[in-house]
Structure formats: C-alpha cells, structure tokens
Structure 1
C-alpha cells in the first residue's frame, strides 16, 4: 500500500516491523508487547482533543 505521494504507508510499515520481530523468550516478548502498548497509549493521548471543544461559543 502507498499514499498519494507513492511512499509506503507509515502505519503499515510499523505493523510489518512489529511482526518481523522474533522474541527469544517470554520476557522479551512481553517487553516488545509493552513497548507497542506504550506507543499506542501515547498516540491516543496525543490525539485527545477534548479541551478544544470548550473553546467554541454556543448560541
């Protein structure tokens, strides 16, 4: 998949990179999963725009 510029989709690239990792043991697998979860959580926080709703005037 590619975007309008012909570049690879960044989200899809990240998923492929995550799937290519082969953890050596259960602890490493848990660490990789936690890193992914932390990144997703931070992304969700970065996209939280609830405070923007209070700036609009109601009529």
Structure 2
C-alpha cells in the first residue's frame, strides 16, 4: 500500500486522522510520499513495513 501526505487514516473514536508528514523528494500524484515515522495530525507517527524503501 502506498500513502501520501494528507491521506486519511482510520479515525479514533472522537476525531479523524490524516498523514501530516511526507518526503521532500518523492511524490505520488503530486503529493509527498508518506514514510514510516512521518507525522500524523493527532501526534502519532506512521507505522509501516520495511520491504519498500523510498526517499
């Protein structure tokens, strides 16, 4: 699965969440590619697998 800055994530019970961070050099449909460790707008970070490396 590929995710981008601004893409929605599964909501917490009280609010929606979206990816807030992204790559400065890799873009998918003109949006920064999200990577493991990038920020989420609720204060969390993106969790992902290690089989694909970008940026």
TM-score by length of 2: 0.23
The structure whose residues are more often strand, as a share, is 2
TM-score, normalised to structure 1's length?
Answer: 0.22
Higher helix share: 1
